[in-house]
Structure 1
Amino acid sequence: MELLWAGADAQARALRAGSVRAPELLDAVLARLREVDPVINAFRAVDESARAAAEAAQARLDAGESTPLLGVPIAVKDDIDVAGDVTAAGGRPQFPPATADSAAVARLRAAGAVIVGRTLTPDRCLWPFTESLTYGSTRNPWHLDHTPGGSSGGSAAAVAAGIVGVATGSDGGGSVRMPSCASGVFGLKTSRGLIPLAPLGEIWHGLAGLGALGRGVADAAAMIEVLAGEPGYRAAVDKPPAPLRIALAWNTPVGRPPMSAEYRRAVADTADRLRDLGHRVTEADVPLGARPGPQFMVRYLRGVADDVAGLPHPEWLEPRTRMLARAGARLPDRALAWARTAEAGLQARMVGFFTEHDLILQPGWVRRPPRVGRYHGSGASMTLAAVGALIPYFPTWNVLGYPVAALPVGLDDGGVPIGVQVIGPMGSEHLLLSLSGQYERAHPWTDRRPAL
């Protein structure tokens, strides 16, 4: 069915128009899942209640009801609770099936979205690749030898492969943006606190929050509108922004990292395309220096340790997960307090920067994401150092809690997608969606499909 490739927003319009019925669309999605998931391994489980949900959604459509996702099949990353299912988070499930939906899933259900299944993550969502000893490796639909990124790699692969038009993701160090960039889909990391995390409190001491990955900008915007519980996000996609002042920032907390020439060129070409759309793009360093690096690592490692400390069976975790948890447990409370307090200094530095610039353009990955299995058997320290060199542009924005859009901008010479990041100040999701929608209309990517 061609509608599978059109994305969630187009599917919602087709359902409202009556040109397709929700059970029929679900059948097409499930057929596509059965066809390609044995190859890409994006899903841990298929939701057995999807058929009933599609029929209920169709009844609401027949009654004239409308929501951004009513009757639309979606996928949910396997890190938030879905009633009746375990939440595995990439490993052997630690707890029995959830008795209630998480707040985010409850909002999706209330909007009539049809949950097709749960998408895979690495163990405890720790890595920028989606591989685990429990569930195996998720593969990039564009190049099966390579990872789709992580930790929302199952969601990215499911969207890129044309199974669903949109999926949830979470981002504690780039986990929405890294797989979006690697898999040729649009992703939006939202501002800290925009989307409720209940029944969880903070994740990784404020680093992580929920977001969406879609075939196009409108798909993710529709999901964010439902998850945030307020209108305007989808409408922002269709309204081009006034000319913006965009800073092209090549610096990271570790300086200006080595980068593949074609990945650097993709960022420069994106800057030129934004100029052609009427925006002023000038090179300017983000005024943070090395400060975000240690702040991120303290919150990340303590976050892993605190997460593991609450599990009934930590012995079931992968060895490098346990190694990271042990490292985090050695960090004293005063180190965590320093990292949390020090964030205020970063926020103060960015206030002045955002008086001169509206948004920031940065690279995503610095070169092609790794091959599947590249770090299999490697210890935590070696894996962390190796992958850290590939993703230095991502974690800073988790420390600050800012929203970030991940835009697909092309393919490398091996056919793997390249993406860039556009960062805004807290609460600037509407502006990011407006610019992203404008860019997508000028340089569409959804007509490109992986040759699975």
Structure 2
Amino acid sequence: MDVDQLLTAGAHAQATALADGSVTAPALTEAALAKIAAHDRELNSFRVVYTDAARAAAADAQRRLDAGERTPLLGVPVAIKDDQDVEGDITGMGGRPQLPPAAQDSPVVARVRASGAVVIGHTNVPDRCLWPFTETLTHGATRNPWNLNHTPGGSSGGSAAAVAAGFVGAATGSDGGGSVRIPAGNCGLYGVKTTRGLVPMQEEGWQGLSVLGPLGPNPADAAALLDVMAGENRYVAATEIDPQPMRIALSWTTPLGRPYMVAERKAAVRRVADELRALGHDVVEADPPLGIRPLPQFLIRYLRGVSGDVDGLPHPEWLESRTRAIARVGRQVPDRVLRWARDAELDLRAIMDGFFKDFDLVLQPGITGAPFRIGRFHNAGAVHTLGGVTLSIPYFPLWNTLGYPVVAIPVGVDRAGLPIGVQVGGPEFSEATLLSLAGQYARAHPPQRPPR
């Protein structure tokens, strides 16, 4: 496998090649930097690329490799979503820089560096990471490598585009309402929305809704980054072992009821259920008995989370108007209502824990239609944007309200050649089980790559 092929093979294959001496860390990093320079002008996945620092990190990683050291990502180029501090750089969060350059790395970036991974750059996000598309007035539109007319999703859209394009073998993301899973599905990737508390945060995000997680082209790539992010050493191994036969609930219901879904995407979910049955699992249609209750709990925490995020900024007038509008609504949510929403999570968890006595995992659709076209929400107000995105993403927020883990699995492409993804959720700290299922599925149904 030459170095160009290795770039698209993913982080785990790159780590293996580095460990056996098939490629050096400087050579791999130079190839990644050259590919970004040649092609990211049209994708706009990176806000900034750390060219000199990446070269220095690659040289240091090679010294560690030559000394016999091994880690899941030693010498592997990775990207960091622009919501995590990287020492010496601003954390842009999609807009004009509000704060000075970070004095130190965030906890996750520190772990990534300590592992010997090569931090290539900060990837683009929507303003304050609010939307399931990645377009801002400050940095423009980030485009999907599968089709430049469509978004890669958001808010981890730059990370997903960079991985799908083969610029890096894995990237960090965050997920407060689908922000890892939506871009993973839109770009044909595997992504993990982690259990709340598994991966350290700089600070609590959106009243506990937001967590950090990895994206990669294969289950082992996401798992390798998760091993580093979580400070553990078991997730890559989990992807290599088929799970025992499990009972999986196929759930079509959301807190908004059963939404309209494009027929071929619904058919893809049914096909995945059949494919899981063929792998030995018992898949039956069943919905967690939660009703509408998760919806107000999510909205209250989301709105107060956004207002809390922006209220401490020195220049709120620099934010996009729809961001300011959502923050204004969030400020009207009383503290007692927020306390109710936070406390009521325990009731949802009790119901789900009962459901998980009968089922091991829950299979659900991803987005209900095709990825949004670029410009669909350009200069749109908050009401129009929220209304426009909500019916596309109703299957995602429940898992943020619960704090439970979910893996996004790519399952093919639609007639327009755009990826289709599903998601599988489980009880808290079931990431290893979810990645084991993802690994089994990927061996039977290898993911496709963008035709670029």
Q: Same fold (TM over 0.5)?
A: yes
2:344 is aligned to 342
Question: Structure 1 residue 384: deviation in Å?
Answer: 0.4
Question: Structure 1 residue 304: deviation in Å?
Answer: 0.3
2:93 is aligned to 89
Identity %: 63
Query: For 1:255, what is the secondary structure of its paired residue?
Result: coil
Superposition RMSD on alpha carbons, in Å? Answer: 0.6
* Equivalent position amino acid for 2:15 in 1: A
1:192 is aligned to 196
2:9 is aligned to 6
2:280 is aligned to 278
Question: Structure 1 residue 310: deviation in Å?
Answer: 1.1
1:425 is aligned to 427
2:70 is aligned to 66
- Find the aligned partners of 2:401 and 2:392 in 1 and give their Cα distance: 18
Question: Structure 1 residue 335: deviation in Å?
Answer: 1.1
Query: For 2:420, what is the secondary structure of its paired residue?
Result: strand
- Find the aligned partners of 2:119 and 2:166 in 1 and give their Cα distance: 15
* Equivalent position amino acid for 2:21 in 1: G
Does 2:451 align with 1:451? yes
1:183 is aligned, of 176, 182, 187, to: 187
2:399 is aligned to 397
2:214 is aligned, of 212, 215, 229, to: 212
Question: Structure 1 residue 451: deviation in Å?
Answer: 2.9
2:107 is aligned to 103
Question: Structure 1 residue 231: deviation in Å?
Answer: 1.3
- Find the aligned partners of 2:180 and 2:312 in 1 and give their Cα distance: 25
- Which moved further from structure 2: 30-39 or 250-259? 30-39
Does 2:84 align with 1:80? yes
2:152 is aligned, of 148, 151, 157, to: 148
8 Å CA contact 2:45, 2:124 repeated in 1: yes
* Equivalent position amino acid for 1:40 in 2: L
Task: Please list, as runs of the form range in 1=range in 2, the aligned pairs for 1:225-240 lying within 5 A after superposition.
Answer: 225-240=227-242
Deviations 1:102-144 (A, max 9, x none): 0000000000000011100000000000000000000011011
* Equivalent position amino acid for 1:25 in 2: L
2:171 is aligned, of 167, 172, 178, to: 167
Query: For 1:49, what is the secondary structure of its paired residue?
Result: helix
- Find the aligned partners of 2:251 and 2:151 in 1 and give their Cα distance: 26
Question: Structure 1 residue 365: deviation in Å?
Answer: 0.3
Task: Please list, as runs of the form range in 1=range in 2, the aligned pairs for 1:109-124 lying within 5 A after superposition.
Answer: 109-124=113-128
* Equivalent position amino acid for 2:33 in 1: L
* Equivalent position amino acid for 1:75 in 2: A
- Find the aligned partners of 1:287 and 1:376 in 2 and give their Cα distance: 38
- Which moved further from structure 2: 228-237 or 166-175? 228-237
1:128 is aligned to 132
Q: Flag structure 1 segments of 5+ consecutive residues without an equivalent.
A: none
1:413 is aligned, of 397, 412, 415, to: 415
- Find the aligned partners of 2:21 and 2:390 in 1 and give their Cα distance: 48
Query: For 2:172, what is the secondary structure of its paired residue?
Result: strand
Task: Please list, as runs of the form range in 1=range in 2, the aligned pairs for 1:370-389 lying within 5 A after superposition.
Answer: 370-389=372-391
Query: For 1:170, what is the secondary structure of its paired residue?
Result: strand
- Find the aligned partners of 1:189 and 1:72 in 2 and give their Cα distance: 22
1:137 is aligned to 141
2:59 is aligned to 55
Deviations 1:11-65 (A, max 9, x none): 0000000010000000110111112101111000001310100000000000000
- Find the aligned partners of 1:191 and 1:403 in 2 and give their Cα distance: 5
Question: Structure 1 residue 449: deviation in Å?
Answer: 2.7
2:27 is aligned, of 24, 28, 33, to: 24
Question: Structure 1 residue 370: deviation in Å?
Answer: 1.0
Task: Please list, as runs of the form range in 1=range in 2, the aligned pairs for 1:299-378 lying within 5 A after superposition.
Answer: 299-378=301-380
8 Å CA contact 2:188, 2:449 repeated in 1: no
Question: Structure 1 residue 405: deviation in Å?
Answer: 0.3
- Find the aligned partners of 2:313 and 2:223 in 1 and give their Cα distance: 34
* Equivalent position amino acid for 2:141 in 1: S
Number of residue pairs aligned between Structure 1 and Structure 2: 448
Query: For 1:157, what is the secondary structure of its paired residue?
Result: helix
1:437 is aligned, of 436, 439, 443, to: 439
Question: Structure 1 residue 352: deviation in Å?
Answer: 1.1
- Find the aligned partners of 2:310 and 2:354 in 1 and give their Cα distance: 39
Q: Flag structure 2 segments of 5+ consecutive residues without an equivalent.
A: none
- Find the aligned partners of 2:342 and 2:432 in 1 and give their Cα distance: 27
2:38 is aligned, of 35, 40, 47, to: 35
Query: For 2:78, what is the secondary structure of its paired residue?
Result: strand
Q: Which runs of 4+ in 1 moved over 6 A?
A: none
Task: Please list, as runs of the form range in 1=range in 2, the aligned pairs for 1:237-256 lying within 5 A after superposition.
Answer: 237-256=239-258
